[in-house]
Amino acid sequence: MSLLSGLEALGLGNLESAKLYEEEKDEAALKKEVVVEEEPEKSETEKEAEFLFGKTYTCPICDSTFKTKTVRAGKAKMLGSDPDLRPRYEGIDVLKYDTVVCPGCGYSALSRYYKFMTSVQARFIKEGICMNYRPHSYDGDIYTYDEALERYKLVLANAVVKRAKPSEKAYICLKTGWLLRGMLENLEMDRSYVKKKLTYTREEEEFLRSAYDGFLTARSTEPFPMCGMDEATIDYLLAALAIRFNDYEVAGRLISELISSKTVNSRTKEKTRLLKEELEKEMKQSKKQNQ
């Protein structure tokens, strides 16, 4: 006879066979029984936004104060770089956040150049950009690739209008080319995939070619450091771009000078040797095709 028999009338007949004393369970087993509600997984946008903060700038043209999205120092972990020095970071493409755009007047530049201009350049910007610019802001939690590309092109337009040095325009083109490579790598497989791939591939090529031409000009007309890069870094970059554009004579000369130099550090020399192997491979392949 069950100790709990007779409770049928109270609607508790199902407890008649219940055990009076449950077996003791160890702590590990008890923990397994605890139901833990998992937090919903964050979206890619939310993850990227965690790397960012709003940095305040004052526009040197119209004196307005605004904030632009900037990557927190030390937040993004660098994974490495491409042969042409394009940096790769874990969880974010930092290239999307190196432009500063005044939402009021349209004055734009890479972050390293934003505060610096002559009075003549300021006049050129007011006449060539500000008078025609339609105020626009980027209010999302992150900059999309399309927004980032638009910002880079606005930066380049400002550089052209203010008659910036070849090195500054080349650096903008270089970074824009790198950004387009990131866009290619993150393309979604939808109906417009093929069309976008062709467009971004062509634009990357055009921007990198302009960067190559601009840095070649700057190398012979401007002092070092250039865009924050010393002579060895610029020569390495030019060699990498020269290989890309089949300018093997320039690539070979720069690579030879870098490897034989007594002032170039060992890390750059090692990267240059890898570049030399790539050059030899490309030249051999080109020779076969022409036979």
The model's pLDDT over 213-246, given as tens digits with 9 standing for 90+, comes to 999 999 999 999 999 999 999 999 999 999 999 9
Residue 92 included in any domain: yes
Cβ count near 16 (within 10 Å): 14
Q: In the chain, which ranges are E strands?
A: 52-58, 65-71, 78-81, 87-89, 99-101, 108-110
Q: Which domain holds residue 102?
A: 54-229
- What is d(CA 251, CA 236) in angstroms, rounded to the nearest whole number? 9
Over 90: is that where the pLDDT of 21 sits? no
Contact of 175 with 98, CB cutoff 8 Å? yes
Tens digit of each residue's pLDDT (9 = 90 or more) over 189-207: 899 999 999 999 999 999 9
> Which carries the bigger pLDDT value, residue 80 or residue 4?
80
- Read out DSSP for 208-246? HHHHHHHHHHHHHHSPSSBTTB-HHHHHHHHHHHHHHTT
Residue 268 included in any domain: no
**Residue-level pLDDT at 290:** 81
Over 70: is that where the pLDDT of 5 sits? no
Tens digit of each residue's pLDDT (9 = 90 or more) over 51-83: 999 999 999 999 999 999 999 999 999 999 999
Record the pTM. 0.85
Over 60: is that where the pLDDT of 165 sits? yes
- What is d(CA 82, CA 237) in angstroms, rounded to the nearest whole number? 11
Residue 257 included in any domain: no
User: What are the tokens at 201?
Assistant: 């591939």
Residue 140 included in any domain: yes
Find tokens 């491409």 and name the residue. 82
By percentage, how much of the chain surpasses pLDDT 70? 87
Residue 255 included in any domain: no
Residue 145 included in any domain: yes
Residue 27 included in any domain: no
- What is d(CA 183, CA 12) in angstroms, rounded to the nearest whole number? 65
Over 70: is that where the pLDDT of 35 sits? no
Over 90: is that where the pLDDT of 34 sits? no
- What is d(CA 262, CA 15) in angstroms, rounded to the nearest whole number? 89
Q: How many domains is the chain partitioned into structurally?
A: 1
Residue 168 included in any domain: yes
